Chain A
Amino acid sequence: MLLTHAEAVALALSFKVSLVGVACSLPVAVGCAWLLARTRFFGKPVFEGVLLLPLILPPVVTGYVLLIVFGHHGTIGRWLDAAGLSIAFRWTGAALAAAVMAFPLLVVALRNAFESVDRKLENAAATLGAGPWRIFFGITLPLSARGLVAGLALAFARAFGEFGATITFVSSIPGQTRTLPIALYELISTPGGESGALRLTLVAVVIAVIASLIAALMLLRGGTREVDA
Chain B
Amino acid sequence: MIELDLALQRGEFSLELSLCSPARALALFGPSGCGKTSTLLAIAGLLRPRRGRIAIDGHALFDADANIDLPPAQRNLGVVFQDARLFPHLSVRDNLRYGMPRAAAGQNFDDVVHLLELSAFLKRKPGQLSGGQIRRVAIGRALLRQPQALLLDEPLANLHREARAEVLEHLRGLKHGFTLSTILVSHQPDEVVALADSVVLIEDGRLAALQSVAAFESSTAASGVPVAANARATG
Contacts and interface: CB of A to CB of B under 8 A. Distances in A.
A229 B83 contact: yes
Given A127-B44, A127-B46, A225-B88, A120 B83 contact: yes
B47 to A, nearest CB: 10
Interface string A201-229: 00000000000000000000000110111
A49 B146 CA distance: 46
Given A129-B145, A131-B73, A229-B134, A124 B85 contact: yes
A181 to B, nearest CB: 38
Interface in A122-160: 123-131, 139, 142-143
B79 interface: yes
Contacts of A123: 46, 72, 85
Interface string B81-117: 1011111110000000011010000000000000000
Interface centre among A124, A125, A126 (most CB of B within 10 A): A124
A23 interface: no
A217 B84 CA distance: 30
B45 interface: yes
Given A225-B127, A227-B126, A127 B88 contact: no
B86 A229 contact: yes
A129 B81 CA distance: 15
Nearest to B85: A124
A221 to B, nearest CB: 14
B87 A126 contact: no
Nearest to B75: A127
A224 B88 contact: yes
Contacts of B44: 127
Given A225-B88, A228-B131, A128 B83 contact: no
Given A123-B72, A124-B81, A130 B98 contact: yes
Contacts of A69: none
Interface string B152-179: 0000000000000000000000000000
Contacts, number: 71
Given A142-B89, A143-B89, A227-B127, A128 B84 contact: no
A77 B88 CA distance: 47
A121 interface: yes
A142 B91 CA distance: 13
B141 interface: yes
28 contacts: A120-B81, A121-B87, A123-B72, A124-B81, A127-B44, A127-B45, A127-B77, A127-B78, A127-B99, A128-B79, A128-B142, A129-B99, A130-B73, A130-B98, A130-B99, A139-B87, A142-B89, A143-B88, A143-B89, A227-B88, A228-B126, A228-B129, A228-B131, A229-B84, A229-B87, A229-B126, A229-B134, A229-B138
Given A228-B126, A228-B129, A229-B85, 17 more contacts: A121-B85, A121-B87, A123-B72, A123-B85, A124-B79, A124-B81, A124-B85, A126-B71, A126-B72, A126-B73, A127-B79, A127-B99, A128-B73, A129-B73, A129-B145, A229-B86, A229-B138
10 tightest CB-CB pairs across the interface, nearest first?
A128-B99, A229-B86, A124-B85, A126-B72, A127-B79, A229-B84, A229-B126, A227-B88, A227-B127, A127-B72
